[in-house]
Each structure stands twice: as C-alpha cells, then as structure tokens.
Chains A and B, each alone.
Chain A
Amino acid sequence: MTVKEIIAQLGLQCLNEANLDTEVSGAYASDLLSDVMGNARSGQVWITMQTHKNVSAIAALKDIPAVIIVRGGVPDDDMLEHAKEEDICILVSQDATFQVCGKLYQLLA
C-alpha cells in the first residue's frame, strides 16, 4: 500500500506532500525517539505525538517515508521546514494512537 492510499483510507491531513507513491512496508508507533532510532525499519510509517524538529531528522536518518501525527497535533514550523528539505511526508490524524494503529494494522497486516 502506498502513502497516498493510506492518506485516503485514514482520511489524513497532508501538511507536506512527499513520497506519495512510496510503498509502505509497515508502521512503528512510539513517542520515544531512541526507541524509533533503535527499532523502526526503513519504509515504515511512524506514528507519534511528538511534533518537534528532531522527528523529521530521525525520519530522514531512518528512511521513514511518512510521519503520522496523532490527535490533531501541530508540527513545529522548523519540523515542517526540515521535512520539506528532506522529503518526508507529514500527515495529521484527528484519531489517537490506538485508533490510527488499529486502522493501519487492518490495512497493512
């Protein structure tokens, strides 16, 4: 399933269009950045409520094509700016982590 299809299926708001046709291999949900650094795999979508610049930095380092911010979180300006430079898709869901994970699990598992 591509990033674009996930956006449509989950009704996500897209704040930075990038990697729309990239095939997603799975997802990783965590708000602990070292957990993501250590355990997320490239090609996975990252689900988090963190909204600061290090999120785009880590996504870029880990080859994560898209980040889904939960509960309508608003990314900091410098996070969004960095995501544009590094081509990371930034998405927002009004749902909480549990709901986003459940919906994505049904689509990807």
Chain B
Amino acid sequence: MHYTFEIERGNFTDAGQASSSVKRTLKQLGVDPANIKRTVVALFEAEINAIAHAYGGTIDVDIDDSKIVMVVADKGPGIPNLDLAMQEGWSTASAKVREMGYGAGMGLPNIKKNTDELQIDTEVGVGTTVTMTVYLA
C-alpha cells in the first residue's frame, strides 16, 4: 500500500494529519499497537521537522506485511552538521516554533529511538530526505 501527503511550509495547523491517517490504516490492518506507536511518533516528528525548517515537501509511506517505510523529502536549507542535529538538545528552531513547545532538540533522537532503520540524506541549500523503516516482526 502506498500513501502520499503534501507538507506545506509553516503550516502547523494541519501537522499530524499524515500520522493520524497512517495510524488509522495500521489499526485497520491489525498491526501490533507497539509498532503503531513507534511509527506515528517517528512520522509526526519528521513531519514537524519539515514544517518547521523546510520550504515544503512530501511524505511517502509504503506498507507491506513485513515493514513500514516512510520517506519525508523536503526542499529546504538542509542540515549543515548532521552529527550535531542528532544530538539531544541541539536545535535551530525559531522563537515562534519554540513558543509552540517544539525546538527542544528531541525530534531526530525520537525518530532514531522509534525506528529500526534511519537514513538522512541532506544537502545544504537543496533539502533533506529522511527515510525511516519500522519492521513488523
């Protein structure tokens, strides 16, 4: 099964729609609740990252019997130092984003903790693609 969602720059109002839709589908498929939880935490965080930092993008989700693969691809500033970005507490979020309760530097670490595989391809000035895999063993 394949699903695609659009991400609009700065549109926090609709944040979580993709995660919510994927959660419903996984529930209907009878996926184990622990795996549903991991998947939605990772997808929501990646969605928020793209909304907060990038200039728009797409979310592609593929679900089969053995795994869920989520690809969040944005056009954006890219991540100049990926090692720093992966550190808990490091954030480049704006004051407005922080006021909403984001920007604590926990997004990427949360994604890493909740997925089995995480790949981040990023180019400064071009964009970032985050590929997350959850195995349904």
Contacts and interface: CB of A to CB of B under 8 A. Distances in A.
Q: Do A and B come from one complex?
A: yes
A38 B110 contact: yes
Interface stretch (B8-16, B59-67, B77-85, B129-137): B8-16
Contacts, number: 62
A33 interface: yes
B38 to A, nearest CB: 11
B1 to A, nearest CB: 20
Contact of A52 (B12, B20, B40): B12
A88 to B, nearest CB: 12
A61 B20 contact: yes
A78 B13 contact: yes
Interface string B22-48: 010000000000000100110011001
B88 to A, nearest CB: 10
Nearest to A82: B16
27 contacts: A32-B102, A33-B48, A33-B101, A34-B45, A34-B106, A35-B104, A37-B44, A37-B106, A37-B110, A38-B109, A38-B113, A38-B114, A48-B101, A53-B12, A54-B12, A54-B16, A54-B100, A57-B15, A57-B16, A57-B19, A58-B16, A60-B16, A61-B16, A61-B23, A61-B40, A61-B41, A78-B13
Given A34-B107, A35-B104, A54 B41 contact: no
A33 B100 contact: yes
Interface in B51-102: 100-102
A41 B101 CA distance: 18
Interface residues of B, number: 23
A19 interface: no
Interface in A32-67: 32-35, 37-38, 42, 48, 50, 52-54, 57-58, 60-62
3 tightest A-B CB contacts, nearest first: A57-B16, A34-B106, A33-B101
Nearest to B12: A54
A95 interface: no
